[in-house]
């Protein structure tokens, strides 16, 4: 475990870059893959199914990936995950129809789970324990920046040059992440050498944060998946600008918070984060103007910028190094499960009702997220109160 108080080391910058390129690969395909499914002849329910299967693959593989991270090391799992993330977009080149495209997309979810879990565990080893909230918040900036760059770049490439250029970008990003990951120096952390037991696949101490995150991601993930198609149907500006405003708001929020993440009240971040995403959804649905559309994006960016690092820190801080893989998998299983269930339910709601109705139903998980934190996470007390 790193005892130094210095945060901005070469290893920390390296793992942040790795995370950035992992999520460029992820976010470039998130808003564009629905268009690919439509191109192949699919409907809204098929889009929801593809989104759900990607996340289900992540959900089922994360506990085992987390165990591998704890027993074989961060670098090994990261390498295997990134090789798969480079290969799967190439499979989309040769997809003969919806079924084969969904198979490759499902496998992509498995490899994304392995690489993101290894990266999240590795950064917890690198940052000083007393600055973990700040470190994870800054590490999360790499994901936020990818949110600004990747969806806009993916949509632009898709519209200008077609799907092949889009898939080529995703492959290139995984290769760059792999090269940087292999260059990061080895860290001094403890590996778990004990026999495998089922209860070791999850970390009990991370469950309160994970459940709160699960409900939140049901809403946030649905917006990321469906906002591009919704914006087109409402005559609003392209979703690329929406993602850019989300990312700008997230980046500013995390830069302003900085070291305050380790001192601020978790309840303020959780309740405030859920209230602002509710406000953002209401603006998106009821006021179809460019100003309201962009303000909605800003509110979502602030929401994600405060709530996600607070919950990830809450999940990782109390866990020893040999259990960080399990803690990360527990947290990100909830992350992926929220996107999967939200995406599938959203597809059904759109098919039988409308996009407006679907987005309004996504207010319910936001309320559930705040209630879950109130009932579970706060029972053990919180840092900052």
Tens-place pLDDT, residues 198-242: 666 777 888 888 899 999 999 988 887 788 888 888 888 877 788
Residue 128 Cα distances to 1, 118, 320, angstroms = 8, 18, 13
Structure-model confidence comparison of residues 271 and 54, the more confident one: 271
Q: What is the pLDDT of residue 67?
A: 78
Q: What is the CB neighbour count within 10 angstroms for residue 364?
A: 12
User: How do residues 73-110 score in pLDDT, each as one tens digit?
Assistant: 788 899 999 999 999 988 887 776 788 888 888 899 88
Is pLDDT above 60 for 385? Answer: no
Residue 120 in contact with residue 332, Cβ under 8 Å? yes
Structure-model confidence comparison of residues 4 and 115, the more confident one: 115
d(CA 24, CA 40): 24
Mean pLDDT of the chain: 82
Residues 6+ apart with CB under 8 A from 158: 32, 35, 165, 166
The two structure tokens encoding residue 377 = 């996470």
Give all domains of the chain, ordered by start, each with its CATH number: 10-185+204-379 (1.20.1250.20)
Using DSSP's 3-state secondary structure scheme, residue 142 falls into helix
Phi-psi region of 114 (alpha: psi -120 to 50; beta: other; left: phi over 0): alpha
> Of 365, 106, 104, which is closest to residue 216 (Cα–Cα)?
365
d(CA 41, CA 90): 20
Compute the average pLDDT of residues 4-26: 87
Compute the average pLDDT of residues 38-67: 79
Mean pLDDT highest for which of 33-47, 48-62, 236-250, 277-291?
277-291
Structure-model confidence comparison of residues 331 and 144, the more confident one: 331
d(CA 364, CA 384): 28
User: How do residues 159-182 score in pLDDT, each as one tens digit?
Assistant: 898 888 898 989 999 999 999 999
Q: What is the pLDDT of residue 238?
A: 76
The two structure tokens encoding residue 336 = 């992926």
Q: What is the pLDDT of residue 380?
A: 45
d(CA 263, CA 5): 16
Q: Which of 71-75, 192-196, 282-286, 362-366 has the lowest mean pLDDT?
A: 192-196
Q: How far is CA 311 from the centre of its chain?
A: 13
Rounded to whole angstroms, the maximal C-alpha distance in the chain is 58
The band of 24, judged by pLDDT with boundaries at 50, 70 and 90, is very high
pTM (whole model) above 0.75 = no
Q: What is the pLDDT of residue 1?
A: 42
């Amino acid at each position: 475990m790193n005892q130094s108080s210095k945060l901005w080391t070469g290893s920390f910058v390296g793992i942040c870059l790795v995370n950035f390129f992992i999520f460029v690969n992820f976010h470039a395909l998130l808003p564009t893959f629905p268009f690919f499914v439509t191109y192949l002849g699919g409907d809204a329910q098929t889009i929801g199914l593809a989104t759900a299967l990607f996340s289900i693959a992540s959900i089922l593989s994360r506990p085992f990936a987390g165990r591998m991270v704890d027993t074989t090391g961060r670098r090994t799992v990261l390498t295997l995950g990134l090789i798969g993330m480079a290969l799967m977009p190439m499979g989309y080149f040769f997809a003969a129809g919806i079924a084969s495209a969904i198979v490759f997309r499902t496998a992509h979810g498995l490899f994304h789970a392995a690489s993101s879990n290894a990266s999240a565990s590795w950064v917890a080893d690198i940052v000083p324990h007393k600055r973990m909230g700040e470190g994870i918040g800054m590490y999360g900036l790499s994901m936020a920046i990818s949110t600004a760059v990747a969806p806009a770049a993916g949509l632009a490439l898709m519209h200008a040059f077609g799907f092949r250029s889009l898939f080529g970008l995703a492959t290139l990003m995984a290769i760059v992440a792999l090269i940087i990951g292999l260059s990061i120096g080895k860290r001094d952390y403890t590996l778990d050498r004990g026999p495998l037991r089922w209860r070791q696949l999850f970390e009990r101490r991370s469950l309160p944060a994970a459940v709160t995150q699960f409900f939140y991601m049901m809403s946030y993930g649905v917006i990321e998946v469906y906002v591009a198609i919704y914006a087109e149907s409402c005559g609003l500006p392209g979703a690329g600008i929406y993602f850019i405003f989300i990312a700008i708001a997230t980046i500013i929020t995390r830069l302003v918070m900085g070291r305050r993440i380790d001192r601020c009240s978790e309840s303020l971040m959780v309740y405030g984060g859920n209230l602002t995403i509710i406000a953002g959804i209401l603006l998106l649905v009821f006021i179809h103007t460019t100003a309201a559309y962009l303000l909605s994006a800003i509110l979502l960016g602030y929401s994600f910028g405060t709530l996600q690092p607070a919950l990830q820190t809450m999940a990782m801080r109390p866990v020893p190094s040999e259990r960080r893989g399990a803690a990360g998998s527990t947290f990100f299983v909830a992350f992926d499960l929220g996107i999967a269930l939200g995406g599938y339910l959203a597809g059904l709601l759109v098919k039988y009702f409308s996009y407006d109705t679907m987005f309004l139903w996504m207010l319910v998980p936001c309320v559930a997220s705040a209630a879950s934190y109130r009932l579970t996470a706060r029972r053990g007390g919180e840092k900052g109160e």
